[in-house]
Amino acid sequence: MRYGRGSDVLSELNFSLAQGSFHFVTGPSGAGKSSLLKLIYLAAKPSKGLVHLFGQDTSQAPANARPSLRRRIGVVFQDLVLLEHLSAFDNTALPLRIAGRKPNDYRTDVAELLTWVGLGSRMHDMPATLSGGERQRLAIARAVVNRPEILLADEPTGNVDHEMAVRIFRLFVELNRLGTTVLIATHDQDLIARSGRAVLHLDKGRISRRAPSSPAAAMPAP
C-alpha cells in the first residue's frame, strides 16, 4: 500500500487471522498500523494484492455491497469520528438504527453498555461536553454495540487511565468469547504483555508474528 507516488507504507504482507481470534498489532510510529486497519475496514484499497474478508475478495465487491460489508466490522478510530449533533446515547445507538432496529428493541442494551464504559450518567450529553477519555469510551461503545464480526481498534486505551483500560480490554475479551475477531493496534506494551494474546509486529511496512505471552502473566478475564 502506498499513498500517491510515495514509497510503500506496507509491502509484502501475507497473513491471515482466523475467525474468532484475538491479536494485537504493534510497531513504531509510522510502521503502517493505521494503514493496515484501513485496508481491513475498506477505507482504502491495496495498491497491489488482495484483501479477503468474509470469504470474498473485497477488491471485487461491487460498490453497493461495501456498506453491508462495513456494517459487519466495528471500528474504534484514532480520531474517534463522533457525530457532534447526536447525544452519547444516539451516537452509540447509530449502528443499530442503521441496521433497522427500533429504539424500543435496543434502548436497554445501549444504556447498559454506556454504564459499563462509565458513561451511564452522561448518556444524554453531547460529545462536545465530554472529556477526551469519555469521548474515547463513547467511540468504543459505538463500535461494539452491534457485536460486530470483526472489531478493529486503533489505540483504544490511549486517553483513559489504567483501570478503565483494563475494563475496556475485558469488554473486548467478552466480545471475542462471543465470536468476534479482534485486532487492536496499540503502543501499550503493558497491556500487550499482560493480555496473553498473540502479536503482529509491523516494522518498515512488513509484518512478523509473536507468540502470546505466558498465561501466568495474562490479564484476568472478566
**What does the domain layout of the chain look like in residue ranges?**
22-45+149-222, 81-147
- How do beta strands 206-210 and 198-203 pair? antiparallel
Strand partners, 184: 24, 153
DSSP 8: B
Q: How far apart (Å, rounded) are the C-alpha atoms in residues 83 and 128?
A: 10
Greater pLDDT, 104 or 30: 104
Q: What is the mean pLDDT of residues 164-187?
A: 89
pLDDT of residue 157: 81
Q: What's the whole-model pTM score?
A: 0.84
* Mean pLDDT value across residues 112-132: 93
205 has pLDDT over 80: no
pLDDT at residue 174 above 60? yes
Q: Percentage of residues in the chain with pLDDT exceeding 70?
A: 94
Confidence of residue 211 (pLDDT cuts 50, 70, 90): low
Residue 58 has pLDDT above 50, yes or no: yes
Burial class from Cβ neighbours inside 10 Å (0-12, 13-18, 19+) for residue 174 reads middle
Which grid coordinates belong to 52? Answer: 479477503
State how beta strands 150-154 and 181-185 pair.
parallel
| Local confidence band at 92 (pLDDT 50, 70, 90 cut-offs) | very high
Give pLDDT tens digits for 17-56.
Answer: 999 999 999 988 888 888 899 999 988 888 888 899 988 8
Question: What would the pLDDT profile of 147-167 be if each residue is shown by its tens digit?
Answer: 899 999 998 887 788 888 888
C-alpha cell at 30: 509510522
The answer, yes or no, to whether residue 82 has pLDDT greater than 80, is yes
Domain made up of 22-45+149-222: CATH architecture: 3-Layer(aba) Sandwich (3.40)
**Distance linking the first and last C-alpha atoms of the chain:** 38
pLDDT value for 220: 46
Per-residue confidence (pLDDT) for residue 216, from 0 to 100: 38
pLDDT over 60 at 111, yes or no: yes
**Three-class secondary structure of residue 115 per DSSP:** helix
What's the pLDDT score for residue 67?
84
Task: Beginning with the edge strand found earlier in the chain, give each strand of the sheet holding 150-154 in spatial order.
Answer: 73-76, 150-154, 181-185, 22-26, 198-203, 206-210
